[in-house]
Structure 1
Amino acid sequence: MKCILVINADDFGYTGGINATIQCCAAEGVLRNTTLMANGPAFDDAVAIAKANRSLSVGVHLNLTELKPVASPDKVPTLVDETGAMQSSPRGLAAALVSGAVSAGDIRRELLAQVSKIMDCGIVPTHLDSHKHVHVLPPVLEVAIEIARRYSIPWIRNPFEDASAWRLITAVGKNDRRVFLKQYAEANIIKPLQPVFRHFVRRSGLRTPDGFHGLSVTGLWNEKVLSRLVGRLKPGVNEWMVHPGVVDQALKNARTRLLGQREVERDILLSPVWVSLSDRHGFSVRGFGEELS
């Protein structure tokens, strides 16, 4: 079986600087995939870039934990606060689902509105994932799968990090290792939901990558981490989550902890090191819109 690496840039549509960086990494680097945030402030700009770069596979970055909904707030009342904004964290959303404070119907209406908005712009999504990986929550996963089947979206992110991720700690900068351990622990908190995820996806007939990488090292990427990761890729389809961008005023004003590190990831995606890494380790970089078998 071939070893395929699918590199996906999250947060397309979040800021103009992120959009321009994704465009650059697709035109001049190894990036082949991105996921578009339908309620992102720079959505229209992202759509224009997507239409001008047809070789870039564009998916949907489903969002239930930041910004305002695509649907009218009065149509999704349990998803919004008094300011009209959505839940501020995955944990808050999970707690609201368990308590019944958020209804499955509102989730369905909002996610349908997000996918419909993107498709109405003439973009045919090739894959789905979600901001902060809230599609790991079973009520959200059910809706995401329903939408993917309705619109013939073939791929959905496997949000469970590959078990070998802990080996990357020695490649991370020494000052970043405490953050790595915290993120590694958080990535493993959701592992009990993995059998449920696999069952739902298998039953639906959707495809999901065999391996997923990038959670524990979010914001901590460097070329040593990259080299270590690709050296451990397994046969099959492997997805690597990235967040390239540029630190402009829009990003500084946004509610994100990833600032300068986005520029580090941009530089890695544009680095000439990819040719030697691919030759040495025998993997190929593909897009979700390409043949992945």
Structure 2
Amino acid sequence: MKKLLVINADDLGYSVERDKGIIECYKSGVVTSASLMVNGESAQFASHAAKEAGFKIGLHFNITEGKPLSNESEVKSLLNHNGSFISKGELFQRASEKIVDLRKVRLELERQIERFEELMGYLPVHVDGHQHCHILPGIRELFAEVLSEKGIKVTRVPFEKLTPGHPWPDQMIRSFMGEVVNHAVAAREVYKQKGIWCSDGYFGLETMGSDFNSPMTADILIKGINSVFTQLEQAKPSKGYVSCELMTHPGYRTGEVGGCGEGPDSFSQSEDRETEMAVLSSKEFRRVYEEGDIQLVSFLECVQ
């Protein structure tokens, strides 16, 4: 059975440094996909660099960090007192209480898709959500509807079997990741009903650097990816392949300029970003697909 692996780099457009690292990873063949933040400080630079490299990319829909593309007055209920998006924690809470104004979410989603098309000259190959905002109750149904209307056929479902006893730094992050996985289960069914493709498996929640846990290593990636494919094969799918998305956050460390209108965060400035580049490029990790039976593909190759 064929094993297809999509390696997606999140947060393209966050800073020039991040963008240069992601494009380098694409050119060297260690990432096959990327998600662009169109409200990011370097979105213009990133779009030009991606087009120059012939890199077909997707949209990283963002309603949890920085400034909106819509006028503040149009999406005020999604913003804090500084005119920036509310935090991921507050959005998750509001979604669970069903008090998110979905009309405002639709407006911002449509604006971000339009901006992507302006920058890249085509619709996003896929659309996923920054900090997994696209899988929340209410938002996931709206999200699936808009993608279906636009003819966008691919998204992300971050369903990952979390490791018991994984060293999360605190209970809050542990609970957040648990929420993400639970919401992903429901989101998969919503997307399936709308005919939107997502990978059979997913890995990346436990490999996001020291802000969340221990930094990524080749050994962690190899074990995680092999575990996902083993579980998928044991389910004995009727089709002739199984697929997995690996979420990554590579790039050179962001300097003083970056972010989405509020400046760069510690995650982007962490040395873990360059560590991820090194791990993805390492001979140890590349052997998984260069010498094994795992085929590196883009999202486009999965749906064509």
Which bin holds the TM-score, normalised by the shorter protein?
A: 0.7 to 0.9
Residue by residue over 1:214-259, the C-alpha shift from the partner in whole angstroms, topping out at 9 and shown as x without a partner, is 1022112012112222332415110000000112423695124351
Which of 174, 179, 188 does residue 169 from structure 2 map onto? 179
TM-score (norm 2): 0.85
Aligned residue number for residue 51 of structure 1? 51
Which of 267, 280, 285 does residue 278 from structure 2 map onto? 267
Aligned residue number for residue 212 of structure 1? 202
Shift of 1:59: 0.7
What secondary structure sits across from 1:60 in the alignment? Answer: strand
Residue by residue over 1:147-176, the C-alpha shift from the partner in whole angstroms, topping out at 9 and shown as x without a partner, is 211221111101221x2x41795xxxxxxx
Rounded to whole Å, the distance in 2 between the matches of 1:38 and 1:127 is: 14
Q: Mind listing any 5+ residue stretches in structure 2 that lack a counterpart?
A: 210-214, 234-241
For 2:188, the aligned partner's letter is R
For 1:202, the aligned partner's letter is K
Residues 265-274 or 11-20, more deviating: 265-274
Pick closer, same or farther for the CA change 1:181–1:25 going to 2, 3 Å: farther
Pick closer, same or farther for the CA change 1:223–1:118 going to 2, 3 Å: same
Aligned residue number for residue 243 of structure 1? 249
Rounded to whole Å, the distance in 2 between the matches of 1:50 and 1:168 is: 39
Aligned residue number for residue 190 of structure 2? 200
Rounded to whole Å, the distance in 1 between the matches of 2:290 and 2:16 is: 34
Residues 267-276 or 197-206, more deviating: 267-276
Q: Mind listing any 5+ residue stretches in structure 1 that lack a counterpart?
A: 170-176
Residue by residue over 1:39-63, the C-alpha shift from the partner in whole angstroms, topping out at 9 and shown as x without a partner, is 1111100110121122x33111010
Aligned residue number for residue 22 of structure 2? 22
CA contact (8 A) 2:40 2:258 kept: no
Pick closer, same or farther for the CA change 1:123–1:53 going to 2, 3 Å: farther
Which of 294, 299, 303 does residue 288 from structure 1 map onto? 299
For 1:265, the aligned partner's letter is E
Residues 220-229 or 21-30, more deviating: 220-229
Rounded to whole Å, the distance in 2 between the matches of 1:178 and 1:120 is: 40
Pick closer, same or farther for the CA change 1:76–1:108 going to 2, 3 Å: same
Aligned residue number for residue 106 of structure 1? 104
Rounded to whole Å, the distance in 2 between the matches of 1:106 and 1:8 is: 28
Aligned residue number for residue 163 of structure 2? 166
Shift of 1:69: 0.2
Residue by residue over 1:90-131, the C-alpha shift from the partner in whole angstroms, topping out at 9 and shown as x without a partner, is 220133345565411111101110111101221331111111
Rounded to whole Å, the distance in 1 between the matches of 2:118 and 2:258 is: 27
In the alignment of these two chains, the number of paired residues is 282
Pick closer, same or farther for the CA change 1:128–1:41 going to 2, 3 Å: same
Shift of 1:279: 4.5
Rounded to whole Å, the distance in 2 between the matches of 1:95 and 1:183 is: 14
Rounded to whole Å, the distance in 1 between the matches of 2:96 and 2:287 is: 49
TM-score (norm 1): 0.88
CA contact (8 A) 1:184 1:215 kept: no
What secondary structure sits across from 2:111 in the alignment? Answer: helix
Aligned residue number for residue 174 of structure 1? none
CA contact (8 A) 2:6 2:32 kept: yes
Residues 228-237 or 200-209, more deviating: 228-237
